[in-house]
């Protein structure tokens, strides 16, 4: 859906532009990524608002964005699916409360995953990156939850950790 909408907008933009050299695929890709981010932000906010947990939902979204930026991970095949799953995940996550022991166990498991597999970048990036620094920073972010003991962070770090494991294909 987001992909189709982006393509339609890109076609109209190219047809109405004096720049006939514009690449449809490049414009569509950029639009789709932006629409995905805007959709995630909007729907996470709306779910948080409807459930009375706006700040917690937005906190979950920011935490997920930070740890994904540092650690990488697999992507959904469709950005529409990404937007739906991410919005529901971050919007509903504040409703879950974990016991202290569970938070400690899952934070420890998460830390292990990040130490072993982070970063796991599945697409070629134009920017240079230092994998050792990304591993260190993502591990430190996860380890901070031993101090904060946040249910939201525990679940985000664990689920995100599952996306960086190099599963056999």
Collect all residues with Cβ–Cβ distance below 8 Å to 68 and sequence separation of at least 6.
Answer: 160
**Arithmetic mean of pLDDT, 76-101:** 96
- pLDDT at res. 124: 56
User: What is the spatial distance between Cα 148 and Cα 161, in angstroms, rounded to a whole number?
Assistant: 18
- DSSP code string of 23-75: -HHHHHHHHHHHHHHHHHHHHHHHHHHHHT-HHHHHHHHHHHHHHHHHHB---
Q: Which of the residue ranges 55-64, 96-105, 115-124, 138-147 would you say has the lowest mean pLDDT?
A: 115-124
pTM for this model (two decimals): 0.89
Which percentage of the chain shows pLDDT scores above 70?
Answer: 92
Average of per-residue pLDDT values in the chain: 91
The residue extents of the domains of the chain are: 2-164
Torsion sign (Cα): 29, 35, 41, 44: negative
Work out the pLDDT band at 87, boundaries 50, 70, 90.
very high
- Per-residue pLDDT at 126 exceeds 60: no
- pLDDT at res. 10: 73
**Arithmetic mean of pLDDT, 103-129:** 86
**Arithmetic mean of pLDDT, 12-27:** 74
CA separation (Å) from 89 to 73, 95, 96, 144, 166? 16, 10, 11, 21, 23
Please, are residues 164 and 117 in contact by the beta-carbon 8 Å criterion?
Answer: yes
Closest-CA residue to 79 (of 124, 29, 44): 29
């Amino acid at each position: 859906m987001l992909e189709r909408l982006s393509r339609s907008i890109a076609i109209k933009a190219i047809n109405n532009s004096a720049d006939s050299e514009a690449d449809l695929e490049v414009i569509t890709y950029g639009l789709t990524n932006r629409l995905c981010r805007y959709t995630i932000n909007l729907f996470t906010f709306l779910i948080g608002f409807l459930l009375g947990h706006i700040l917690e939902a937005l906190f979950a979204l920011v935490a997920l964005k930070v740890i994904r930026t540092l650690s990488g991970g697999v992507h959904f095949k469709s950005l529409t699916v990404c937007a739906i799953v991410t919005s529901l995940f971050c919007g509903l996550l504040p409703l879950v409360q974990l016991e202290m022991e569970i938070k400690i166990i899952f934070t420890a498991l998460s830390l292990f995953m990040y130490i072993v597999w982070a970063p796991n970048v599945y697409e070629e990036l134009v920017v240079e990156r230092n994998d050792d620094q990304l591993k260190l920073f993502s591990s430190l972010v996860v380890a901070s939850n031993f101090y904060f003991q946040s249910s939201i962070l525990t679940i985000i770090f664990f689920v995100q950790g599952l996306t960086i494991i190099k599963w056999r294909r």
